[in-house]
């Protein structure tokens, strides 16, 4: 097997929400595999921390602060990527916020709007400008949209989050249909219970421990690691997945098999 097909050497990648958790792990893995990485987050300090870790490991990173739900900022993110590294080859649209927590009848519509804005509108905007850049280059491109197990298996009291993550699958499939002819691949990764600050915060909110909660969410009786999700994104952006598009790859310890 040609090991280089699993690598990202020479590629230029954008990772959104790269200041912590899965986004940070993804940015670091892409850099370790040889990509030049634009580390994007609304939190500049967190993004700078990820970029510093990449540089300390010998990788190339550039920080762009971005609210991915704002169209002008997303356009500027892609433009800044090209200005810094000359092109764009792949992107992981990972940025998201904590799910809503109320049943539909009690829904706070301000919270609904915020979740839809960050978890769905941002994916559409990122795809729009990433694909425009691929087309302008007349070159292949790969996009990974980060959904959730909630993209397929709804949870109660998360109506906005579930709707947004279902929408991510729809956008992924639509993008794959529209641009396969230009060799632009669009796929999704669906994380399950991954050990991130967001998940740890939810455990504290609900007074659960990992030992109590993990068996309900994983056949392995443990939380996943951010690096395990990053591996899926790296594969989908590499030549090893050159015949894969429109696919949703679950990284969830078997949760969806139940």
Q: What is the pLDDT of residues 9-68, one digit of tens each?
A: 999 999 999 999 999 999 999 999 999 999 999 999 999 999 999 999 999 999 999 999
Distance from C-alpha of 48 to C-alpha of 248, rounded to nearest angstrom: 30
pLDDT over 70 at 5, yes or no: no
Beta bridge partners of 41: 65
Q: Which helix (DSSP H) or strand (DSSP E) does residue 113 occupy?
A: helix 109-116
The phi, psi pair for 138, rounded to 5°, reads 55, 45
pLDDT over 60 at 201, yes or no: yes
The phi, psi pair for 209, rounded to 5°, reads -110, 165
Which residue has better confidence, 70 or 1?
Answer: 70
Whether the CB-CB separation of 78 and 88 falls below 8 Å is answered with: yes
CATH of the domain at 118: 3.40.50.720
Whether the CB-CB separation of 234 and 187 falls below 8 Å is answered with: no
The pLDDT value given to residue 98: 87
Instruction: Identify whether 132 is part of a domain.
Output: yes
Active site residues: 161
Quick one: how far is CA 28 from the chain centroid? 13
DSSP 121: I
Instruction: Identify whether 59 is part of a domain.
Output: yes
* Structural domain of 35: 3-194+226-250
- Three-state SS for 169? helix
Q: Total domain count for the chain?
A: 1
Nearest Cα to Cα of residue 22 among 192, 136, 218, 205: 192
Whether the CB-CB separation of 65 and 77 falls below 8 Å is answered with: no
Instruction: Identify whether 154 is part of a domain.
Output: yes
Instruction: Identify whether 159 is part of a domain.
Output: yes
pLDDT band at 203; cut points 50, 70, 90: confident
Structure tokens at 72: 């002008």
Instruction: Identify whether 218 is part of a domain.
Output: no
The pLDDT value given to residue 4: 59
Distance from C-alpha of 108 to C-alpha of 88, rounded to nearest angstrom: 38
Q: To the nearest 10°, report the CA torsion of 40, 58, 6, 135.
A: 40
Mean confidence (pLDDT) of the chain: 95
Instruction: Identify whether 216 is part of a domain.
Output: no
Instruction: Identify whether 215 is part of a domain.
Output: no
Distance from C-alpha of 226 to C-alpha of 196, rounded to nearest angstrom: 7
pLDDT over 90 at 93, yes or no: yes
Instruction: Identify whether 211 is part of a domain.
Output: no
Percentage of residues in the chain having pLDDT higher than 70? 98
């Amino acid at each position: 097997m040609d090991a280089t097909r699993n690598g990202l050497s020479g590629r230029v990648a954008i990772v959104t929400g790269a200041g912590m958790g899965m986004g940070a792990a993804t940015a670091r893995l892409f850099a370790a595999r040889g990509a030049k990485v634009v580390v994007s987050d609304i939190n500049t300090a967190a993004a700078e921390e990820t970029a510093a870790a990449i540089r300390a490991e010998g990788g190339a990173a550039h920080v762009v602060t971005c609210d991915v739900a704002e169209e002008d900022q997303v356009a500027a993110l892609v433009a800044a990527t090209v200005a810094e590294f000359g092109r764009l080859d792949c992107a992981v649209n990972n940025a998201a916020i904590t799910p809503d927590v109320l049943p539909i009848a009690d829904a706070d519509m301000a919270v609904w709007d915020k979740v839809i804005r960050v978890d769905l509108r941002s994916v559409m905007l990122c795809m729009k400008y990433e694909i425009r850049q691929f087309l302008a280059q007349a070159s292949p491109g790969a996009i990974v949209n980060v959904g959730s197990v909630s993209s397929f298996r709804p949870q109660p009291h998360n109506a906005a989050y579930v709707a947004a993550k279902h929408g991510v699958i729809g956008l992924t499939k639509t993008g794959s249909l529209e641009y396969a002819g230009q060799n632009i691949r669009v796929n999704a990764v669906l994380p399950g219970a991954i050990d991130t600050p967001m998940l740890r915060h939810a455990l504290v909110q609900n007074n659960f421990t990992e030992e109590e909660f993990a068996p309900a969410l994983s056949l392995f009786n443990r939380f996943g690691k951010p690096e395990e999700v990053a591996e899926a994104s790296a594969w989908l952006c590499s030549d090893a997945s050159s015949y894969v598009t429109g696919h949703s790859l679950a990284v969830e310890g078997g949760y969806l098999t139940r």
